[in-house]
């Protein structure tokens, strides 16, 4: 058996190794199993399909949620009776929170498969073989076979902020409805804003802790 060596462009943290053989090569996994290039290509196809599936699910959540939110907001911001406005605002608030956490869950699954696809890309040395994409409309700019798997974080954060805004609006309406019936403390509006952005702050806190603990 030939000497085991690191593959080109391999990640220093990876424990898998590339084994050379006459006329061919195989990838050795952490458990010692050998995977051929065809097997790796099949794995890459599977992970690419899963990434695409979860990317679709990530963006289906805000699209479907906005459909329901647009209907509920016509009731919440209307001049109808307090009961229906309160019920619509409460339901819209729950939808906003559920949408944030649903997007976070699907995006987490997408990132898992992205990382697996990146590892297979490294194993196949596609980064060195395929080169860099130079296109004005490409995102990210100057991507190669490895960085093309990067997940866009900015749009995701924007949508979280949008749903937080929906939640704050719902809480303000709930406060107005309740204040016409009962005495509501003066600090209630500030509390409503804090509750509205709390899911986003919680998720950002988790991401910060994961980044620090690395």
- Looking at the chain, the whole-number percentage of residues with pLDDT higher than 90 is 2
Where residue 165 falls among pLDDT bands split at 50, 70, 90? confident
Where residue 206 falls among pLDDT bands split at 50, 70, 90? low
Among 103-112, 132-141, 200-209, name the most confident range.
103-112
Domain residue limits, the chain: 1-35, 36-213
Q: 33 is written with which tokens?
A: 């199993």
Q: Evaluate whether 108 touches 71 at the Cβ level (below 8 Å).
A: no
* pLDDT over 70 at 189, yes or no: no
Mean local confidence (pLDDT), 158-170: 85
pLDDT score recorded for residue 67: 87
pLDDT score recorded for residue 148: 78
Mean local confidence (pLDDT), 100-125: 88
Backbone torsions φ then ψ of 80, nearest 5 degrees? -75, -170
pLDDT score recorded for residue 183: 61
pLDDT tens across 114-150, in order?
988 888 888 888 877 787 777 666 666 677 787 778 7
pLDDT score recorded for residue 140: 67
What Rg value do the Cα atoms of the chain yield, rounded?
24
Q: Evaluate whether 178 touches 191 at the Cβ level (below 8 Å).
A: no
pLDDT tens across 32-85, in order?
677 788 888 888 899 999 989 998 898 888 888 888 888 888 888 887 787 888
pLDDT score recorded for residue 10: 44
Pairing of strands 17-21, 24-28: antiparallel
Q: 62 is written with which tokens?
A: 């805000």
Question: Which residue, among 74, 83, 50, 103, has the nearest Cα to 177 in the 3D structure?
Answer: 83
Angle at 107 between CA 66 and CA 91, to 5 degrees: 30
């Amino acid at each position: 058996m030939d000497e085991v060596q690191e593959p080109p462009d391999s990640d220093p943290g990876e424990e898998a190794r590339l084994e050379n053989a006459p006329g061919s090569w195989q990838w050795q996994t952490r458990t010692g199993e050998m995977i051929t290039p065809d097997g790796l290509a099949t794995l890459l196809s599977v992970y690419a399909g899963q990434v695409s599936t979860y990317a679709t699910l990530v963006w289906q959540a805000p699209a479907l949620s906005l459909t329901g939110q647009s209907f509920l907001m016509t009731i919440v911001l209307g001049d109808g009776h307090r009961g229906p406005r309160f019920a619509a605002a409460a339901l819209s608030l729950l939808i906003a929170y559920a949408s944030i956490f649903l997007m976070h869950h699907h995006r987490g699954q997408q990132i898992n498969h992205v990382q697996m696809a990146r590892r297979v890309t490294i194993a196949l040395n596609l980064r060195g073989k395929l080169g860099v994409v130079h296109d004005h409309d490409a995102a990210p700019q100057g991507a190669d076979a490895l960085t093309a798997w990067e997940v866009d974080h900015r749009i995701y954060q924007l949508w979280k902020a949008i749903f937080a805004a929906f939640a704050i609006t719902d809480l303000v309406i709930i406060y107005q409805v309740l204040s016409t019936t009962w005495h509501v403390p003066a600090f209630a509006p500030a509390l409503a804003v804090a509750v509205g952005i709390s899911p986003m702050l919680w998720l950002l806190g988790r991401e910060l802790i994961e980044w620090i603990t690395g």
